[in-house]
Amino acid sequence: MKLKKSWWLLVIVSLGVIVPFAAPYLTFDPDNSRIRMTSTTIQFPLLVAHIIFACVALISGFFQFIDRIRMKNPKVHRYLGRIYVISVFISGVLALATIYYIENFSKATSFLVLSLIWLFTCWKGYRTAVRKDFASIANG
């Protein structure tokens, strides 16, 4: 089946935003961080790990919408689904740890709410897939 234009648009826009944002952190040099480091210990490694796992989640997530993989290669779909869930879980928990270093209260609160929503929706999606309730997944 042909991939929908909306899927391509989502991939291009997401990568167009995330690649330039994530690139400085993939040099593993804290001096390239756009975010001011308030700690010299584990803040930067936590942030880099959050970004790496978030990118894995984003990329594996894209593949889950490809009908051809879902229908003709359900094993690959399931395998990618596990990678997605595990990377969201790790990245989400690392985001929670990163929030500890944010000095601005409103920013920290917003990220906290976002992290909890991310982890919760991923957990709900995982449970739905495990129960094989595919109608709920398809209807959102």
Do residues 92 and 120 make contact, with C-beta atoms less than 8 angstroms apart?
no
Closest CA to 62 of 49, 81, 78, 48: 81
Least CB distance from residue 96 to ligand HEM, whole Å? 8
* Contact characters 34-73, ligand HEM, x per CB under 6 A: xx-----------x--xx--xx--x---------------
Does 97 bind ligand HEM (CB under 6 A)? Our answer is: no
Residue from 21, 28, 100, 120 that binds ligand HEM (CB under 6 A)? Answer: 21
Identify the burial level of 89 via C-beta atoms within 10 angstroms of its C-beta, where 0-12 means exposed, 13-18 middle and 19 or more buried. middle
Whole-number Å distance between alpha carbons of 108 and 99? 6
Residues that bind ligand HEM (CB under 6 A): 18, 21-22, 34-35, 47, 50-51, 54-55, 58, 95, 98-99, 102, 111, 114-115, 118
